[in-house]
Amino acid sequence: MEYTVMMPAAGSGQRMGAGYNKLFLKLEGKPILAHTLGVFEGDSACKGIILAVKPDERSVIESMLEQFAITKVTAMVDGGGERQNSVAACIRAYDGDGVVLVHDAARPFIRRAVINELVKVAAEHGAAIAGVRAKDTMKFASAGVVEETVDRDMLWIIQTPQAFRYALLQEASTRAEVEGFLGTDESMLVERLGYSVRIVESTYDNVKMTTQEDLVFGEILLKSSRI
């Protein structure tokens, strides 16, 4: 089933501490951004990718697309101050229908099987997000003191991709913008309108490259040929 990707890549990578956008950091000699784009480039169901970039990184990214033979980026839009603003810019630039997938450029290890399942579930039900079950015991705490142990069976750690019927995502994004609501993922924008969102079980290796130790893990994953 076909889909289009909205990919925010306009962050600054503060927590990585590289002093520049972490998406240019390399894993096995290839920039993180090129790894992530490559997953979708290689998926015949992906119709196109709308990429949100920082204006001053546009030309470097254009060269990267050429170097790594990425042909599916159909539009590059200017990102915004927050991740949600960058995704909103991608949404505004899309003029089709069907299912769209929002995926962080900083998650290069997403598996095609998970993508395809997300698209299928979103086409049928409207919204589907990737998640994994919490492995550790989870507790609520206030000021470092435990208040309650949470029922782990009900807890999911949420990732991207997040897949939506386009009309639903567009409505949720517009409403959030008009109402000044800032969420931490697109699902929150859809949830607040009362729509139900399904979780598709993903894999623990779909990590977001956020801090230095994630890079170590990323190199190990690539070497172990588990990806």
Q: Rule CB under 6 A: say whether 185 interacts with ligand CTP.
A: no
Decide: residue 28, CB within 10 A, 0-12 exposed, 13-18 middle, 19+ buried: exposed
Q: Rank residues 119 and 160 by Cβ distance to ligand CTP and give the closer one.
A: 160
Cβ distance to ligand CTP smaller for residue 9 or 197: 9
- The CB density around residue 147, as the number of other CB atoms within 10 Å, is 10
Residues 80, 85: Cα–Cα separation, whole Å? 5
Q: 57: which residues sit within 8 A by CB, 6+ positions away?
A: 10, 21
Stretch 101-130 residues interacting with ligand CTP (CB under 6 A): 104-106
- Give min distance, CB of 36 to ligand CTP, in A: 8
Closest among 176, 218, 166 to 30, alpha carbons compared: 218
- The SS3 call for residue 72 is coil
**Pattern 34-73, binding to ligand CTP, x per CB under 6 A?**
------------------x---------------------
Q: Is residue 165 near ligand CTP by the rule CB under 6 A?
A: no
From 14-22, 61-69, 131-139, 214-222, span contacting ligand CTP (CB under 6 A):
14-22
> Least CB distance from residue 77 to ligand CTP, whole Å?
10
Per the CB < 8 A criterion, the answer to whether 219 and 115 are in contact is no
Cβ closest to ligand CTP, residue 13 vs residue 218: 13
Of 10 and 70, nearer to ligand CTP (C-beta) is 10
Residue 135 per-residue DSSP state: -
User: Interaction with ligand CTP in 74-93: which residues (CB under 6 A)?
Assistant: 79-83, 86
Nearer to ligand CTP, 75 or 123 (CB): 75
Residue 12 vs 63, nearer CB to ligand CTP: 12
Inter-residue contact 212 to 19 (CB < 8 Å): no
How many CA atoms, within 13 angstroms, populate the side-chain half-sphere of residue 72?
20
> In Å, how far from its chain's centre is CA 88?
13
Residue that the structure tokens 């130790």 belong to: 213
26 contributes a contact to ligand CTP by CB under 6 A: no
Binding of residue 10 to ligand CTP (CB under 6 A): yes
Beta strands 198-201; 127-133: pairing state: parallel
Closest residue by beta carbon to ligand CTP: 11
Residues that bind ligand CTP (CB under 6 A): 8-15, 22-23, 52, 79-83, 86, 104-106, 208, 210
